[in-house]
Each structure stands twice: as C-alpha cells, then as structure tokens.
Structure 1
Amino acid sequence: MIKKITMGFLIICVALAFASSVSFAKKAKYVEEAVSGGGSISGVVTLKGNPPPPIMEDLSKGKNKEFCMTHPEAKGNIRPRHKVVAPGGKLTDTVVFIEKIEKGKAWDTKTINFDFRTCDIFPKMIIVRKTPKGVKKGLFTITNKDEEILHNPHGYSVAGASRKTLFNKPLPSQGDIADVTRNFKRFKQKKDKHFFLQCDQHNYMEADGRIVWNPYYSISGKDGSFKIDNIPAGKYKVTAWHPYVGEVTKEVTVADGADAKQNYELAAK
C-alpha cells in the first residue's frame, strides 16, 4: 500500500514538473531592451557550383499575356524566371539570422510591402515575423500596381512538399491594397520557417520570405554581403538560409563593439 502511494506521488510530481516546463516554454518570448556596446556579424554568402538555369516562362499561355509581355526581362512571349541568383558566385537573397537569442534590440516596425508590378512581385525576399498580440494591421501589405489587371495574392507557409494557406486575397484594381498582418498570427515556431507568395491569376509570379523569431537578421545583397548589428556580446548559432539552395549554420562569437567576420558557402543543388 505504501509503495503504491509513493509511486502515485512520484508520478504526480513528474507530471506537474513536465506541465510546468511546457508552460514556461510556451511563455518564453524575445524581450526588447537597450543594447549597450553591441557588436555585429558581417560577411559574404557565396554559392558553390552553378545556379540552376532560369525557368523560361511562356507568357502567351497565361492570362493578360499582352500586358505581362511588357515585363523588362521578357523577350517576345518568353520571360526568364530565376529561382537562384548568384552573379560571380555571390548568392543574393540569402537570409542570415541568429537562431536563438533571448533579448536585445527592438523589432523594426516599418510596414513590409509586396508590389505586384508588371506581372511580377517585388521584393523577391523578405523577413516575416509572427504578428504580436494587439497588432491588427500595418506590418505586412500587398499592393496591386498594375492597371486593369486582376491579381490574386496567395500566401503559404511551406514545409517540404506541404503548403498551408495563410491568406488568399483578390486585388482587382490598380492601387488596391491587402493588409495581411492578421494572417501571420498563426505561426508556430517549430513548424513555420518558409513563407511563399504566389499570384493565383499568374502562377509564375512568386516571392519568398523567412519566418524568424527575433530581430537579428540580414538579407544578402547582389554582392552576397550581409551585416547584423547591435548584437549583445556572446556566442551564437548563426544560419544562412536560401529557400532553393539550403542552409548552413555556424557558431559565431561576438565581442562588445566589435565586428565578427563570418562568411558562408552554400552548395548548389
């Protein structure tokens, strides 16, 4: 009898401890605070090997073909669509970010906007975050810039071959704006990484984003360069990620007021 009571008590204690740890994990959030003497991480992302050839899109087979052929890269009815851009081996639109950091600089609260323009989407890569509680609009918008062209932005969270719809909002007229801030409240940290945007009317219109959980990130430019600033001193796991190439993670030590140099090389698929 005593053994049964003791065993039952132990089971209850373990269950309570587990529930407490799960509750704490759910409540753990990034905390914004002033950073004194912060350092930085900078470098260049390169591509090992050759990027895949562009997809040669035949615009004559789609909707609004006459207008879509005015795209600056189109030659006749053919428009090259690049999934990986690496001039001179410098990988563009790679997101470099700190994996885990509990506190530090404030998030950037400027509106991130996608332009649907000349049957294309700009920019090609953005950073996406889970919408904070109490915020209903103003963080993420999509604008139709094309006159008399119906666009239908369709946003997804992508994991491998699986796609989860986040929003699907038709923009029938030039100047129409869809605010999708509310739709980004659904992200789960362990599940959501890759944001993908496509036009349902013109499915060759595409753009991507990386879902992050702290404001320490950078997107590599045309020369492959990146810089993350205002970082508290410490040792961090820093990942370079490209949706169509892959990712590499390295451990980087940041000192007060110093710039830590770290380059990345991602292998072409």
Structure 2
Amino acid sequence: MTVCAEENGVYKFHRPRGITTIAAVGLLAAGLLVGCAKKDDARATRPAPGTKTPSMQAAPSAAGTASIAGKVTFVGDVPAASALDLNADPVCASTHDSPVMGQDVVVNADGGLMNVFVFVQSGASGNFSAPDAEVVLDQKGCVYEPHAVGVQVGQTLNLVNSDNTTHNVHALSDTNKPFNTSMPIPGMVIPKTFDDHEIFKVKCDVHPWMSSFIGVFDNPYFAITGADGSFKLSGLPAGTYNVVAWHEMYGEKPMQVTVGDGEAGAAAFSYGG
C-alpha cells in the first residue's frame, strides 16, 4: 500500500478497476504521514467545533433557461442486496446498530436506480469556470458517503475521515493522476482537484469493502440519481445534447435530446439485470 503520494497534483472516460487488502498504520507511520500531508499542502486538521461540513454534491451553475429531467430505472429481477462484513475492524463494527448494505445496485420499490451519473457528454460549448463551492467525500462508519460524488474540473473535493480509525483513499483513475492517500487522523481533511473528464473508482485498502465513485466533468451539466432514480440537468442553453447515463455495474447509455429556450426536455434510461 502506498502510504504517501502527491497531495496537490491536479489530478477522459474509462471504467473502474479492482479491490485489495487490509493494513495497519502505527504511531510512527502516522507522524510521517502527517508530515507528508503538510509537505503537499494537504489540510491534515480537525474541523473546529461548530464548523459546518460542505455539501456532498455541489449544484451546477449555468446560464441557460432550458432543462432536461427524467428517471433511470432498473427492469427485471433486482440483484439481492448483501450486507457488508465490517468485523475486520472493531471500530467499524461498533458504529452500526444494523447491517450495512452494499451500494453497488440500489433500486427502490418503483424501479428507480440510485447512484447513476447523468451528464451532458457533448453539445455544451463555452468555458466553464470551476465553482467555488467545495464538495465532500467522507469516510463515516467505515463506508464512503456519498457512494457517488460529482465535481467539475478544477473544483475542490475534500476527502474527510470522520472515523476514529485509519483509512486511505486509493484512486483508480486513468486520465487524472492516480493517488493513494493515507488518513490516520480522525477529522483529517485533504483537498483534491482534477484536470480531466473521467469517472473512476476509489477504495480503501485498509477496509476492502469500502468503495465509491468520483465523476469529474468538464461542464456543469451533470447529476447523480437519488433514491427514486430521478435526475435533472438545469441551466442549459437551447441546443441538441448527447446525454449519457453511467452506472458502475451496467456501464453507459447515451441519448440525444434537443431543447429550446425555457423548455423542459425529458430523458429516460433503463438498465436490466
């Protein structure tokens, strides 16, 4: 396991890769890691009491008046959900009173599929500045929260450890610079930014059941489906767009949608097991 990697590397569209092992970090290693984080300008700090945590998902900002909304559904037999085994770390096991279910395929009673990235892949033009709003990927209860998180190129994503145990964030990116960052201190915060459009997996080598997906987009027109499978892309200028849905298990589905000024376009995607 790489303990120390560049923290400030400004980290085009590929599918994610695998999972690894369990490790332990001693007090001396923790001290070295904190020093490394400081060298790379990471914020290895505890939030002050009363500090509010930034939102998990920053709302895109755009100037148009059109929108595209819809739902992603799962058709057919839904894979049975399985509980995660957290017993390898007593701290993790003690933080939950009920089983923690995997998040790879989450479907509600109406067939809505959660955690699907929906975004404009082409058709958007212009220079899109990174939003000032910062986004959070937290490690809480030995799971990543949220399971899927989106940022714009150049936007700050804060990696947070809210647990009283050591985590590491191992990014399996291809076009953005990969990193493997240890986070041994409760309350530790490490900011990251990314250069290129890509969706990639992150995992914790210390706790192999932990995984999440980061979507980096080169425009502000993206969303992640909620528990009901719904999404909305707002602020679009009039035009024709190639809209893509992407799910970690079932891949991507494209659709072309045309909207005029002030129009509310519709898009529906479905996956099946």
| CA deviation vs aligned residue, 1:74-120 (integer Å, no higher than 9, x gap) | 44xxx432311011210111111111111277543311111111111
Aligned pair 1:156/2:172, yes or no? yes
* CA offset digits 1:172-191 (Å, max 9, x no partner): 1111112222xx23x4x5xx
The equivalences for 1:166-177 within 5 A come to 166-177=178-189
Shift of 1:157: 1.2
Could you give the per-residue CA deviations for residues 46-92 of structure 1, whole angstroms, max 9, x where no partner exists? 012233223443333x2x2x2211343744xxx43231101121011
Q: Deviations over 1:155-209 (max 9, x none)?
A: 12169xxxx871111111111112222xx23x4x5xxx32211111111111112
CA distance in structure 2 between the aligned counterparts of 1:107 and 1:74, rounded to whole angstroms: 39
Separation in 1, partners of 2:81, 2:95: 15
Asked if the contact 1:167–1:180 (Cα under 8 Å) also holds between the matched residues in 2, the reply is no
Q: How many Å separate the matches in 2 of 1:126 and 1:146?
A: 19
Match of 1:58 in 2: 85
Q: Identify the structure with the greater helix proportion.
A: 1
Distance of 1:34 and 1:69 partners within structure 2: 43
CA distance in 1, matches of 2:62, 2:244: 24
Structure 1: gaps (5+ residues): 1-32, 132-137
Among 124, 137, 140, the alignment partner of 1:114 is: 137
1:242 alignment partner in structure 2: 247
What is the percent sequence identity of the aligned residues? 30
Aligned to 2:258: 253
Report SS of the residue matched to 2:201.
strand
Tell me the secondary structure at the aligned position of residue 170 of structure 1: strand
User: What is the identity, as a one-letter code, of the residue corresponding to 1:102?
Assistant: S
Matched residues in 1 for 2:152 and 2:232: separation? 19
What SS does the corresponding residue of 2:91 show, helix, strand or coil?
helix
In the alignment, is the contact (CA less than 8 A) between 1:194 and 1:243 conserved in 2? no
CA distance in 1, matches of 2:250, 2:120: 19
Contact 1:127–1:211 under 8 Å retained in 2: yes
Give the number of the structure whose alpha-carbon radius of gyration is greater. 1
Aligned: 1:209 with 2:221 = no
Equivalent residue letter for 1:68: C
Cα distance 1:198–1:57, how it changes in 2: closer, same or farther (>3 A)? same
Give the TM-score of the pair, scaled to structure 2: 0.70
Contact 2:131 2:152 in 1 (8 A): no
Residues in 2 aligned to 1:107 and 1:41: alpha-carbon distance in whole angstroms: 22
More strand by share: 1
Structure 2: how far apart are the matches of 1:97 and 1:34? 14
Pick closer, same or farther for the CA change 1:34–1:175 going to 2, 3 Å. Answer: closer
Superposition TM-score, scaled by structure 1 size: 0.71
Q: Aligned equivalents of 1:259 and 1:157: distance in 2? A: 34
**Letter of the aligned partner of 1:154 in structure 2?**
H
Q: Which runs of 5+ in 2 are unaligned?
A: 1-60
User: Is the 8 Å Cα contact of residues 128 and 219 (structure 2) preserved in structure 1?
Assistant: no
Give the aligned partner of residue 22 of structure 1. Answer: none
Cα deviation, residue 35, structure 1: 3.1
In structure 1, how many angstroms separate the alpha carbons of the residues matched to 2:118 and 2:171? 22
3-state SS in 2 of match to 1:257: coil
Residue type of the alignment partner of 2:183 = L
Matched, 1:179 2:207: no
- 1:142 matched to 2:142? The reply is no
Q: 1:55–1:82: 8 Å Cα contact kept in structure 2?
A: no
Show the counterpart of 2:75: 48
- Name the amino acid aligned to 2:107: A
Indicate whether 1:97 and 2:109 are aligned. no
Which residue is 2:229 aligned to? 224
1:69 equivalent in structure 2: 93
Distance in 2 (CA, whole Å) between partners of 1:106 and 1:40 is 20
Residue 34 of structure 1, CA deviation: 7.1
